């Protein structure tokens, strides 16, 4: 008969409602005001929501190994994340059939999140990968950075137009950022560190918007940090260009002041922005200009982080605390509703990889039971939120294996 959760609050893209839910073998079998059965749990005050989807995730130290895939799946499950999409920027890069098959074979032994991967559209920024073949074999999206030439970018767009789907694009200027280690500005000057000009991102966003317009393709701009980039993406949307904007939670909450004291945990890619730009990012977020959120999970070993700032690796840990972080910072604070959180962290990222998610009904699988009541102090030296108070915990994730 499965397990019955009474008086649980169901949250999805349509809003909130209280009901009883019967779950059998990881799938919702019945939703009603009252359900008969013996295995009953009073879930008053608890939240049932779709498992999160994060399409911008990296492996520890950027290394593609079986152990790192297993660790990622476990961490994601703990944080309430049901699907992760790996960035192909790893060692080795996911840019051929061998590396793609490795991920697909290894994930069968991963208990936790379902691990998908984007595929690098180019190899070493100089020649094409077998985009069409790799998409047919299960890669969820082609991924490119704007460090490639205009000629290659146009050819990638032609492939995307031919085979459909969405292009994941990371916009930055390699020449401007080559020697920099954090955002260019007062904090970088005070610390004596080489800055990365904010101009690099919007320049390349503009270029890719025009390519999207010309070829009629869909582009998701990954981990946007510049308010000017969001302005241009929003304007292009109004003109009918199929472009969308992903922003990390960290860039909404933290500024480059987090780098004070040479705090290497705050060394992110893209870099944290100035306080004034963070305020503009928040305004854009509140206006609905951000389409999806990422935790920008990019963990590192201490040997790669606990070094001089200039030598430290980019990234921080976040996925194991994903749902408590998002709930604490966005929902419990009153900034957004559960409905919008699920749109940003489930429906839209799932849509970008051709999946339908975000609603809960009979037949739905991959849902999370979340208790918003527990309070704890986060203790993780590799987290930007180390020492901060978090609310809520993931009680259980239900999915059909």
Per-residue pLDDT tens for 172-188?
998 887 789 999 999 99
Report the pLDDT averaged over residues 213-220. 98
The pLDDT mean for the chain works out to 95
Report the pLDDT averaged over residues 56-63. 97
User: At 307, phi and psi to the nearest 5?
Assistant: -140, 180
What pLDDT score was predicted for residue 163? 86
Model confidence at 204: pLDDT above 60: yes
What pLDDT score was predicted for residue 386? 97
What pLDDT score was predicted for residue 340? 98
Q: What's the pLDDT tens digit per position in 271-294?
A: 999 999 999 999 999 999 999 999
Closest CA relative to residue 401, chosen from 73, 103, 78, 67: 73
Q: Which two tokens stand for residue 380?
A: 């993780």
Q: What's the pLDDT tens digit per position in 8-35?
A: 999 999 999 999 999 999 999 999 999 8
Q: What is the DSSP letter of 269?
A: S
Q: What's the pLDDT tens digit per position in 343-385?
A: 999 999 999 999 999 999 999 999 999 999 999 999 999 999 9
Model confidence at 124: pLDDT above 90: no
Specify the range with the lowest mean pLDDT, choosing from 44-48, 162-166, 272-276. 162-166
- Residues 228, 231, 233, 234, Cα dihedral to 10°: 170
Report the pLDDT averaged over residues 251-277. 98
What is the SS3 assignment for 103? helix
Model confidence at 92: pLDDT above 80: yes
The pTM score is 0.96
Rounded CA-CA distance 358/342 in Å is: 6
Distances (CA, A) of 224 to 44, 67, 150, 195: 38, 30, 20, 18
Largest CA distance in the chain: 67
Quickly state the pLDDT bin for 401 (edges 50, 70, 90): low
Percentage, residues of the chain above pLDDT 70: 100
Q: What's the pLDDT tens digit per position in 184-201?
A: 999 999 999 999 999 999
Quickly state the pLDDT bin for 125 (edges 50, 70, 90): confident
Model confidence at 1: pLDDT above 60: no
User: Can you list the domains of the chain with their CATH numbers?
Assistant: 50-358 (3.20.20.140)
Rounded CA-CA distance 138/121 in Å is: 14
What pLDDT score was predicted for residue 326? 98
């Amino acid at each position: 008969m499965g397990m019955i959760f009474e008086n649980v609050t169901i949250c999805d893209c349509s809003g909130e409602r209280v009901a009883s839910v019967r779950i059998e073998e990881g799938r919702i079998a019945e939703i009603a005001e009252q359900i008969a059965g013996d295995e009953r749990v009073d879930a008053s005050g608890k939240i049932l929501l779709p498992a999160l989807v994060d399409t911008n995730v990296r492996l520890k130290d950027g290394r593609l190994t079986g152990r790192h895939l297993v660790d990622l799946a476990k961490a994601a499950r703990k944080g309430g994340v049901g699907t992760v999409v790996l960035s192909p920027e790893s060692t080795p890069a996911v840019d051929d059939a061998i590396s793609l098959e490795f991920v697909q074979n290894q994930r069968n032994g991963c208990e936790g999140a379902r691990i998908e991967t984007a595929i690098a559209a180019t190899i070493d920024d100089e020649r094409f990968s077998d985009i069409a073949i790799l998409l047919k074999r299960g890669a969820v999206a082609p991924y490119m950075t704007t460090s490639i030439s205009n000629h290659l970018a146009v050819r990638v767009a032609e492939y995307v137009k031919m085979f459909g789907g969405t292009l994941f694009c990371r916009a930055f200027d390699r020449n401007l950022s080559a020697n920099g280690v954090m955002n260019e500005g007062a904090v970088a000057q005070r610390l004596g560190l080489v800055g990365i000009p904010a101009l690099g991102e919007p320049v390349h966003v503009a270029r890719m918007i025009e390519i999207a317009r010309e070829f009629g393709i869909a582009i998701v701009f990954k981990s946007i940090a510049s308010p000017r980039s969001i302005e241009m993406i929003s304007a292009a949307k109004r003109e009918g260009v199929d472009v969308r904007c992903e922003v990390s939670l960290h860039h909404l909450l933290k500024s480059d002041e987090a780098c004070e004291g040479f705090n290497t945990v705050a060394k992110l890619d893209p870099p944290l922005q100035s306080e004034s730009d963070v305020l503009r990012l928040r305004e854009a977020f509140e206006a609905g200009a951000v389409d999806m959120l990422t935790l920008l999970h990019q963990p590192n070993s201490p040997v790669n982080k606990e070094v001089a700032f200039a030598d430290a690796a980019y990234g921080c840990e976040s996925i194991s605390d994903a749902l408590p972080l998002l709930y604490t910072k966005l929902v419990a604070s009153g900034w957004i509703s559960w409905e919008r959180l699920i749109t940003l962290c489930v429906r839209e990222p799932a849509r970008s990889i051709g999946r339908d998610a975000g609603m809960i009904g009979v037949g739905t699988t991959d849902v999370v039971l979340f208790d918003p009541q527990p309070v704890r102090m986060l203790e993780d030296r590799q987290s930007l939120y180390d020492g901060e108070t978090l609310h809520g915990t993931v009680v259980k994730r239900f999915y059909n294996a």
